[in-house]
């Protein structure tokens, strides 16, 4: 199948495998739409058990097929839209399970790295990121003044005509503020 267009690969699939997948998806679809949160939770549990027992691998679209909902509805529920908090948590946990499955098949070498990376980025919102701040070397140079140089610092401010003053320092031993004359 290497070097052929993706749609060409669909026509060359093993007919026995195609039949098994279609049969499994029809079983999912025939379950109907769950109405309550309890039915939703039970259906999701059935979905994952079904995936374990059949040729269907857990994925967002297959989950939507089992729930008789669109991907948009699943997305909205996972964001707490048009549902209560419990439904949001149920759907979020199901999506998290699918994400974990994809991560594990990628990390265990069950799928090629490029396929795994594609799936994780597109289905699980993984991202390649580079922090600009972390990649810029710190070039700021600081100088520590010696005790002999400190009086010169005050003289430099006087010579420049600046009204700069040294800061007030707290004496932590006496809990007093020490003011330096200049």
Q: Is 139 exposed, middle or buried (0-12, 13-18, 19+ CB in 10 A)?
A: exposed
* CB 61, CB 75: distance < 8 Å: no
pLDDT the model gives residue 54 = 82
Q: How far is CA 161 from CA 30, 82, 111, 150, in A?
A: 88, 68, 72, 18
Query: Which whole-number Å values give the CA distances from 10 to 1, 17, 22, in the listed order?
Result: 10, 12, 13
The pTM score is 0.61
pLDDT for residue 74 is more than 90: yes
Q: Band the pLDDT of 156: cuts 50, 70, 90.
A: low
Predicted pLDDT at 1: 47
pLDDT of res. 157:
58
CA dihedral defined by 71, 29, 99, 52, rounded to 10 degrees? 180
- As a whole number of angstroms, the distance between CA 117 and CA 109 comes to 12
Domain definitions of the chain by residue range: 14-98
Q: For residues 142-165, b (16+ Cβ closer than 10 Å) or e, as one string? A: eeeeeeeeeeeeeeeeeeeeeeee
Task: Please tell me the distance from the alpha carbon of residue 156 to that of residue 149, in angstroms, as a whole number.
Answer: 11
Nearest to 63 by CA among 91, 22, 23: 91
23: left (phi over 0), alpha (psi -120 to 50) or beta: alpha
Neighbours of 46 (CB within 10 A): 14
With bands split at pLDDT 50, 70 and 90, how would you rate the model's confidence at 121? confident
């Amino acid at each position: 199948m290497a070097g052929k267009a993706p749609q060409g690969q669909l026509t060359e699939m093993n007919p026995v495998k195609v039949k098994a997948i279609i049969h499994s998806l029809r079983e999912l679809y025939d379950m109907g739409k769950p109405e309550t949160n309890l039915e939703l939770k039970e259906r999701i549990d059935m979905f994952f058990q079904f995936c374990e027992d059949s040729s269907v691998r857990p994925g967002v679209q297959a989950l939507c097929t089992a729930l008789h909902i669109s991907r948009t509805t699943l997305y909205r529920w996972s964001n707490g839209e048009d549902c209560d908090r419990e439904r949001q948590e149920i759907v979020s946990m199901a999506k998290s399970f699918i994400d974990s499955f994809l991560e594990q098949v990628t990390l265990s070498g069950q799928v090629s790295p490029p396929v795994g990376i594609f799936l994780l980025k597109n289905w699980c919102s993984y991202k390649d990121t580079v922090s600009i701040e972390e990649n810029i070397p710190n070039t700021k140079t600081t100088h520590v003044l010696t005790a002999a140089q400190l009086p010169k610092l005050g003289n430099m401010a006087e010579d420049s005509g600046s009204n700069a003053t040294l800061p007030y320092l707290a004496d932590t031993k006496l809990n007093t503020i020490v003011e330096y004359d200049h």
